[in-house]
Every structure is written in C-alpha cells, then in structure tokens.
Amino acid sequence: MTAFLDTNILLYSISTAADEVSKRMRAIALTDRDDCVVSVQVLQEFYVQATRASRTDPLPHELAAGLIKTWLRFRVQENTVPILQGALEIKRAYGFSYWDSAIISAAREAGCSELFSEDLSHGQIVEGVRIVDPFR
C-alpha cells in the first residue's frame, strides 16, 4: 500500500512544541516508512512553513533544505498539467481549497491508496484515495 504524506505530517515531524510530542512521534514514524510519496508542492509548502520568520522555532535554510534532501528518498510526484486539471475538478466536485485539491490530485496521480493528512475528513474517500488522519 502506497501512502501519500501531506505537508502537516512533515511539519509535525520537526515540531518542538510540548503539546505536540505525540504528533511528532507519529509523524516521525510515518516519515521512517519506505512506501511513501510526497509531491513537489508538499516539499515547497514544508520549506515555506518551516522557515517562516513568524514561526516559534523557524528552521535555518540549511536544515530545512537538508530535510527536504532526505525526503527525496520518497517517490516525488511532480507538478503537472494533469494534476492541475484534476485539482480543479476535485475543487469543483468536493469544495476543498485548491491547495488541498492539488494534494489529493497528486496522490491519485501517484497511485496512492491513502493520504495521511490532518487537514481533511478522516475516512473520506476522494477519487479513490482514502483520507487518514494519523493523529486520531
């Protein structure tokens, strides 16, 4: 079973917040798997959010870039025109934000049966991809 990791999984894996210890441990366990897929969009979003100055514990560029390099061991779904078109269709049909729709479209394009994300409805199946909130 191939699983797609949403940006929030990567962000929780670096969290230093005391109230997010269990989420950090679960996220680290997910990023230790070998059967995961991420997208260019997920890696971009991770970098932007992890390094933003308003973050309580912003990562320096070198560390964020190093983590991304580590996660390149996963299969990486490129951003493509079919993913864009799929995202637009998913947004229209389900009402998700464009960015969430693009994540789902990328997961579908990569052939993933599951999408690990805290941002969507746990258990919902969208375009053949089952949404799993690993923190429930």
| Total domain count, the chain | 1
Sequential DSSP letters for 20-51: GHHHHHHHHHHHT-SSEEEEHHHHHHHHHHHH
Give the position of tokens 């199946």.
125
Give 45-52's long-range contacts (Cβ < 8 A, gap of 24+): 45/7, 45/99, 46/7, 46/10, 46/11, 49/7, 49/11, 50/10, 50/11, 50/14
CATH number for 17: 3.40.50.1010
pLDDT single digits (tens) 41-57: 999 999 999 999 999 88
pLDDT single digits (tens) 24-38: 999 999 999 999 999
Q: What is the pLDDT of residue 33?
A: 94
Q: Which structural domain, as residue segments, surrounds residue 95?
A: 3-132
Give the position of tokens 């993913």.
83
The pTM is what? Answer: 0.95
SS3 53: coil
pLDDT single digits (tens) 109-132: 999 999 999 989 999 999 999 999
